[in-house]
Structure 1
Amino acid sequence: MSDALPDVRAFRLTPEVVAPLKQRLPHVATQTIDAIMTDVPAYAEPFAGDLGPKIERAVRAALGTFLELVSRAYAPEPQSPLAPALEGAYALGRGEARNGRSLESLLAAYRVGARVAWHELAAISVEAGQPAATVAHFAELVFAYIDELSAASVAGHADELASSGRARIRHLEQLTQALLAGEPEHVVAAAAQQADWSPPRTLTAVLVPEHAARTVVDLLDRRTLQLGEVLLVPDVDGSSRAALLGLLRGQSAVAGPARPWLRVKESYDRALRTSQLPTLPATPGVVDTEDHLAELVLTADPQALADLRAKVLAPLSAAPTAAAAKLAETLRSWLRHQGRRDEVAAELFIHPQTVRYRMTQLREVYGDRLRDPDWTSSLVIALTTPGF
């Protein structure tokens, strides 16, 4: 209630003042509804339909409560006639929020209603011969009453938005969990419907620190889902991907591939695996999983890779450890440079003759296996995959 207005509960009007007002309440209610429909566009269509008669009865009841309040004999009872009216106004605010009408529209309706109700009630009072002082006093009471009701409606509107907002956040989190867990399509579709979330064509999983995610998400499609450090971004495949990576610049982020929205777990799994690659730079930056596909394929089964390395290096097990390491290093460089001795020597900072000597040793221990395509493929995978 505004500090500039009186407490409507502290005033009394005589029955002679109130009687003509009660008789004309239906007319006042009709005029009030008509004015709101004209002056507040958000209410024109709802009031013109089935809601109109209900609102008219509610306005009539609210004004009737006001007249009862200001004309009753004084009694110190704790539950005054104002309490039900405030409860109704609070419920109205919650209902308007559920129906998607803004607080501005609701307050505009109250302002119009107060103006029209006062104009009509004042005209009735003047017609009944009430003195100017009584009419002025009555004006204060009308606006104080409307101020009380509007404050209750504002509280109801805010509480409903907060409550529905929290509920929707929970539903969106449940949807994100279902997507990342790879739940069946019917489960995910039901979660999307409950969250009032419109599915995009594709989703892209992005891993980014949670504090940064809260900042980045405001720049993305409003359907972007967030769960901790995971963002699921709609429709950023093709040329849109560059824009996404640009928005992430300056963050420590890993962007998975775009996938049909029901298969976004694939994008999340790839982003997670990429984030665990030992070859990623230590400095923060944006990592595009598309730049690491070969490494992801070759390191898909770390134990199998370790076993393969042990197998292809077994012929060197008889050599001293230091010598075996130099021979393995030379063999790896020889495979990388396809046998070009000078390039091997330049990479290892040794003389080309040293390369020739070591390769002679390697041919002695490997024999014809260095000319076997299958063995050569195994050697390339085992010795040139990052982490060797």
Structure 2
Amino acid sequence: MAAAGLNGRRGRSRDFSDQRLWSSTPTDTARRLRPGLAAVADQVIDEITLRIPEYARPADSVYIKVIKLAVDEALRQFVDRIENPSRPWEPDVFRTIGRGEANEGRNLEPLQTALRLGARVAWRRLTEQSETLGLTPQHLYDLGEAIFVYLDQLADAAAEGFDEARAHAAGEIERRRHRLMDLLLSQPPASPDAIADLAKTAGWRLPKTVAGVALEDHSGGYRPPSLPPDVLSGIDRPHPCLIVPDPNGPGQAQTLEAGLRGWKAAIGPAVPLSAAATSLRWAREALELRKRGVLTEERGLLRCSDHMATLIVFKDEELVNALAEVRLAPLAHLRPSQQDRLAETLLAWLRHGRGAGEVAARLHVHPQTVRYRLRQLEELYGDQLADPDIRFELEIVLRARRPVTPGTS
């Protein structure tokens, strides 16, 4: 950033309070300089507006007044210091200028160029009038060095104001983004106009779709996620979350995976902006199922779109449990271990085909073992396994019965 001072060395060891540079000049020099300051100021302003495009605003009377104020103040304080070397430095005007540069969306390079131009004009006038002013070569040397010290002081004051404005703007943008997230997740949904207005002031481009991301609360145990600037972050919320714009866009999946490395997270389906809360709700449900061991996704980012059937099944567990009592009744008289083996086999058979070889490969057991279990299931269920509606209900209750065995998903 160009806020590093005129020579890229902000905070140099040269001290503006070094009175030696100012004390060597006769104090009556200030009295002789003051009558010509207005002419010098006009010349400086002409140079600045002519040579620096950012300041060439002849039609902007307010801006011209600001430049004139800055130049007049810089010359006044310089001459005052010659008259009274111990006079306190007054940086407020130049901090204000730095804030203005930040608010205009510029860096400090134009301002630094303007300061150098002003110093060049002032130095030229001093050397031209040195005999009239009674200045010796040593006086001129000391004043030249004082000008450089003064330039550093002006640049540092402007940089402080610049940094303050940037920090304030960043904080304000962050507050607006937090408020935008509140609106997007509100129930009932906020009006599209309210969201659009706040998104504009928050510098957030309205996407076609969004997805909610639920995060496990690590309470500071992991580094903060490294996320693109267009992702709305609610890491500090009681239930940490994100809102991702256009989640199916090019490269978004890889970017999220990389940014959330080390975090356990779930991303909801892509939905219209008005349904952001719904997407986040699904993501939180998926994350909860992962904690319970129902979803055994090994990657850091769990995607609801990969597990929609399971999420639907677990939406009303009481109803699923009631259905399970009916559909799993043929297994109820068996020992728990037998129930588990037959339920696992039946689910694999329903999901992956009715060949013993395919089921055996999924379960990592011998095909003969699968054939034996399938014969048991045929004896227990009879003609029910030929009914597609019953098979569908069986798959639902078997999926909900216990976590899917790794390798069978």
The interval holding the TM-score normalised by the smaller chain is 0.7 to 0.9
Partner residue of 1:122 out of 114, 122, 127:
127
SS at match of 2:269: strand
Partner residue of 2:118 out of 92, 95, 113:
113
SS at match of 2:199: helix
Partner residue of 2:211 out of 204, 215, 220:
204
Matched residue, 2:246: 235
SS at match of 1:311: helix
Q: Give me the TM-score of the superposition, normalised by structure 2.
A: 0.74
Contact 2:99 2:164 in 1 (8 A): yes
Closer/same/farther in 2, CA of residues 369 and 97 from structure 1, 3 Å limit: same
Q: Give me the TM-score of the superposition, normalised by structure 1.
A: 0.77
Closer/same/farther in 2, CA of residues 295 and 248 from structure 1, 3 Å limit: farther
Partner residue of 1:7 out of 14, 17, 23:
17
Distance 2:163 2:146 in 1: 26
SS at match of 1:274: helix
Distance 2:145 2:352 in 1: 94
SS at match of 1:50: helix
Distance 2:196 2:316 in 1: 33
Closer/same/farther in 2, CA of residues 339 and 48 from structure 1, 3 Å limit: closer
SS at match of 2:39: helix
Matched residue, 2:82: 70
Contact 1:171 1:195 in 2 (8 A): yes
What amino acid sits opposite 1:205 in the alignment?
G
Distance 2:145 2:357 in 1: 100
Matched residue, 2:394: 379
Whether 1:142 aligns to 2:147 is yes
Closer/same/farther in 2, CA of residues 240 and 7 from structure 1, 3 Å limit: closer
Contact 2:268 2:303 in 1 (8 A): yes
More off after superposition, 292-301 vs 190-199: 190-199
Closer/same/farther in 2, CA of residues 103 and 327 from structure 1, 3 Å limit: closer
Distance 2:31 2:359 in 1: 108
Distance 2:213 2:400 in 1: 26
SS at match of 2:204: coil
Whether 1:27 aligns to 2:39 is yes
Which is greater in Rg? 1
Whether 1:311 aligns to 2:357 is no
Closer/same/farther in 2, CA of residues 259 and 105 from structure 1, 3 Å limit: farther
Partner residue of 2:190 out of 176, 184, 189:
184
Whether 1:56 aligns to 2:63 is no
SS at match of 1:214: coil
SS at match of 1:204: strand
Distance 1:51 1:314 in 2: 84
Cα deviation code 1:109-166 (max 9, x no counterpart): 2222222222223323345453333333332333333332222222222222223222
Matched residue, 1:225: 232
Partner residue of 1:301 out of 316, 330, 333:
316
Matched residue, 2:306: 291
Task: Give aligned-pair identity as a percent.
Answer: 29
Contact 1:331 1:359 in 2 (8 A): no
SS at match of 2:315: coil
Distance 2:126 2:401 in 1: 86
For structure 2, the residue ranges without an aligned partner over 5 or more in a row are 1-10, 404-409
Closer/same/farther in 2, CA of residues 359 and 98 from structure 1, 3 Å limit: same
Whether 1:160 aligns to 2:165 is yes
| Pairwise CA RMSD | 3.8
Structure with more helix by fraction: 1
Closer/same/farther in 2, CA of residues 147 and 254 from structure 1, 3 Å limit: same
Distance 1:54 1:336 in 2: 75
What amino acid sits opposite 1:360 in the alignment?
E
Give matches, 1:315-334, under 5 Å. Answer: 317=332, 319=333, 321=335, 325=339
Distance 2:115 2:177 in 1: 35
Distance 1:91 1:191 in 2: 28
Question: CA shift at 1:187, angstroms?
Answer: 4.7
Cα deviation code 1:16-69 (max 9, x no counterpart): 423332111111112212222344333234896531133213312331232233
Question: CA shift at 1:207, angstroms?
Answer: 4.7
What amino acid sits opposite 1:184 in the alignment?
A
